[in-house]
Structure 1
């Protein structure tokens, strides 16, 4: 996660409220968005593309109007694929 942040910069999480954090791996793995766990534990290690986080980054969980980050600019697919790969690899440190 730190490597990704160094390469891509800090995300603006202000729209998520004060309780939303992804400053640590544990916080990211526990994060809730749109009332759903963003990285479902049962998908770690094999199906990162189906996690709520990736779906929300690509198309929006509920609708395209709610795609993250809200209002864009949206994360380019190569960067989303890095997140998918990280989840598929078991979310290594």
Structure 2
């Protein structure tokens, strides 16, 4: 699996959220919040937290802020993303974990 599959999962998750909730305004996540390209995703931060911490690439995908946010939420109280759902299915989140653990291949 490569980046395009990860992008598709995130894009589909956002599309499902927007279908249920209306147009999303992601500007409050921060200026680098993006997954339009692999480089953008690897450099992305949301609410001043790196989505994929570089030291976790290769072994630790389940500990990245991106995955924690998609599974349970980071903030206190925990707020799973996308806020209020619908949420990305667990098997698709696992695909993202596997991609990160594989070193984020193209």
Structures share a fold, TM > 0.5? yes
What residue is the counterpart of 1:46 in the other structure?
Answer: 59
Contact 2:7–2:36 (Cα < 8 Å) also in 1:
no
Deviation of 1:12 (Å): 2.9
Q: Which has the higher contact order (CA 8 A, sep 6+)?
A: 2
Deviation of 1:28 (Å): 0.3
Q: Distance in 2 between matches of 1:5 and 1:23?
A: 7
Alignment: residue pair count: 91
Q: Distance in 1 between matches of 2:72 and 2:10?
A: 22
Computed over aligned residues only, the root mean square deviation of the Cα atoms, in angstroms, reads: 2.1
TM-score normalized by the length of structure 2? 0.75
Contact 2:61–2:98 (Cα < 8 Å) also in 1:
yes
What residue is the counterpart of 1:16 in the other structure?
Answer: 26
**Partner SS for 1:69:** coil
Deviation of 1:38 (Å): 0.7
Q: Which runs of 5+ in 2 are unaligned?
A: 16-23
Q: Distance in 1 between matches of 2:98 and 2:50?
A: 18
